[in-house]
Amino acid sequence: MQYRRFGRTNLRISVLTFGAMRIPFGDRSPEERARAEENAFLAMKRALEVGVNHFETARGYGNSEHLIGMWLPHLPVRREQLIITTKIPPTQSADEMRRYIDESCSATVGTGSRACRQMPAPTAGIACRVARSS
């Protein structure tokens, strides 16, 4: 696997990312859902085996944040070896943004200082104000 520097950080991020948009959710029978979640977990483990260290999710991807958080303790790597990013929807206020970020962090249990939040462009101004006020 090839790695590149992540933005202005010293983190090394794999050139391939595991995108969680297709982690199953929605109307399925319990058996179908369990089978689909098991397949998604196995795909995540395989990504790790080939060197992927970046896992990308979003609030809008169903329950992918929750499932990734639930799977973290069962993966063959330490949490600090992973870079998990998530996206939040555009917000109207700093308080709403903080709530979305807190909910995302709670869902992906164990996210620490290496967690990154991706925000759509209309939210950038609010993000700057939140960062300055925190």
Using the predicted structure, report yes or no on whether residue 134 has a pLDDT greater than 60. no
Annotate 107-118 with b (16+ C-beta within 10 A) or e (fewer): bbeebeebbbbe
Residue listed under structure tokens 């483990």: 45
The confidence band for 84, taking pLDDT boundaries of 50, 70 and 90, is confident
Give the largest Cα separation in the chain, rounded.
Answer: 47
* 3 assigned to active site: no
What does the pLDDT look like over 108-123, one tens digit per residue?
654 443 444 444 444 4
Catalytic residue among 61, 88, 100, 111: 61
Each domain of the chain, given as residue ranges in start order, spans 3-133
Tokens standing for residue 39: 């397949």
* pLDDT for the residue numbered 76: 85
Q: What are phi and psi of 26, to 5 degrees?
A: 105, -165
Fold topology of 3-133: TIM Barrel (3.20.20)
Cβ atoms of 4 and 12 within 8 Å: the answer is: yes
